[in-house]
Amino acid sequence: EAGVTQFPSHSVIEKGQTVTLRCDPISGHDNLYWYRRVMGKEIKFLLHFVKESKQDESGMPNNRFLAERTGGTYSTLKVQPAELEDSGVYFCASSQATGQETQYFGPGTRLLVL
């Protein structure tokens, strides 16, 4: 069974540019989560989709971040315009059902904003 995949694996952009990250969850997983880890800090929750609906987006840092999950399959996370402090590793995770299901993580996208 294929795991969670993320694209790109790395992205280097200049401040002010736009970047779009993609996550493909494990097939059949309704729950999709985005997390971010900035240098030296803990992994922090950004938002949670149940199918195509945003269940919780309380972790989104500001309105420069937009997440979508049209059709309830893959998800995109767009940062526009990117700032230096957006640099970090963006992880996506998916789980089969709500509650206490194990979340499976993708390999992450390493974003560097110069």
**Cα 61 from Cα 46, distance rounded (Å):** 8
**Cα 108 from Cα 42, distance rounded (Å):** 14
Whether 103 and 94 have beta carbons less than 8 Å apart is answered as yes
45 binds another protein (CB under 8 A): yes
List the one residue from 44, 52, 57, 76 that touches another protein (CB under 8 A).
44
63 binds another protein (CB under 8 A): no
105 binds another protein (CB under 8 A): yes
- For another protein, the closer of residues 71 and 99 by Cβ is 99
List the one residue from 42, 62, 63, 70 that touches another protein (CB under 8 A).
42
**85: amino acid identity, one letter:** E
